[in-house]
Amino acid sequence: MTLEDTGLRPEPAAAPRRRAAGDPVKALLHRHRDLCERAVDPLEIAAGLEAHGITDRTAARFRHRDVFSLAEELYARTPRGETRAVPTPAGAVTPAALRGFGLALLPGAVALGAVAARVPWAGAVAVAVTVAALVWPGRTAGGRFPGLLHLLAAAAVGWAVHRHGPALGVALALAVAPAHLAAAAFAARARRGLAGSRVLEDFAAGVRPLLLLTAAGFTAAAAGAATLAAAPLAPAVPLAALLFVTRLLLAHGAHRAPVAAALAVALVPVPAAPLAAAAGLLVHAVFALSRASAHARP
């Protein structure tokens, strides 16, 4: 006896409805389609999901153990064209990397040349090239030029150079090259850490000591630059650290309000102001740069 003989009919529409209800990832894919389509690898999707507030606990609702596993499924299920851009391996020495390091050497050379030539406005030259080199990376990360931050940084450094002499400007200009190298090394190692992580909390726990170690290494380099330029260490090192952390935050797309506040604090006419500003901004960076979304490719 068949279903037709009993007068009963199959319900073909029930199965598709059950599949749709049982496929929560499909709705998530539709909601974040732009993110998934432009991602070069699952890590980009994981970072983007985290930026939208999706945590490992949230991923369990989509039947995944963590955000990384969820991102892998989204990446696999996203329709793509035949040609895809191959991402450059983290830390690879490319022509752009060499060109960037060459440009990082220019501020020190320009500042040294201006001082050696006894140019009356040597201090102003050192301030301009230093601030431009350290704050400029925020232009590509933030989508528009951070003019207010640039002006605040120039004011803080200019005020310090006015008080302590052009040697301080030279010290900060010489610190641009190690700042460039330290920032690139931090970004590459953080990216490798993201690739090896399976839980967002584990990634954050690994990035925090990396950031502190990077900041400590750059601080030592800044002290060396100040010694080489015969500049006073007390104002030179905190200011260099403040500009370095500013560079890191802007390059990784962090919010600019805390950066502006720290630069404003550095303008206070108190000897300890630059140190307080640098320490406060570093604390903020520990939290802001420990997020996976801070290390997605621009």
Higher pLDDT, 150 or 211: 211
pTM: 0.75
Spatial distance between the Cα atoms of 54 and 85, rounded to a whole number of angstroms: 26
Residue 237: pLDDT above 90? yes
Q: SS in 3 state form for 110-154?
A: HHHHHHHCCCCCHHHHHHHHHHHHHHCCHHHHHCCCCHHHHHHHH
Determine whether 229 is exposed, middle or buried from the number of CB atoms within 10 Å of its CB (0-12, 13-18, 19+): buried
Look at residue 40 in the predicted model and tell me its pLDDT: 80
Closest to 216 (Cα-Cα) out of 256, 173, 245: 245
Residue 58: pLDDT above 70? yes
Determine whether 23 is exposed, middle or buried from the number of CB atoms within 10 Å of its CB (0-12, 13-18, 19+): middle
Look at residue 236 in the predicted model and tell me its pLDDT: 96
**Interacting residues of 122 by C-beta distance below 8 A, sequence separation 6+:** 111, 114, 115, 166, 169
Confidence of residue 266 (pLDDT cuts 50, 70, 90): very high
Confidence of residue 133 (pLDDT cuts 50, 70, 90): confident
Least confident of 39-53, 95-109, 138-152: 138-152
Confidence of residue 167 (pLDDT cuts 50, 70, 90): very high
pLDDT digits (tens, 9 = 90+) for 179-207: 999 999 999 999 888 777 777 778 888 99
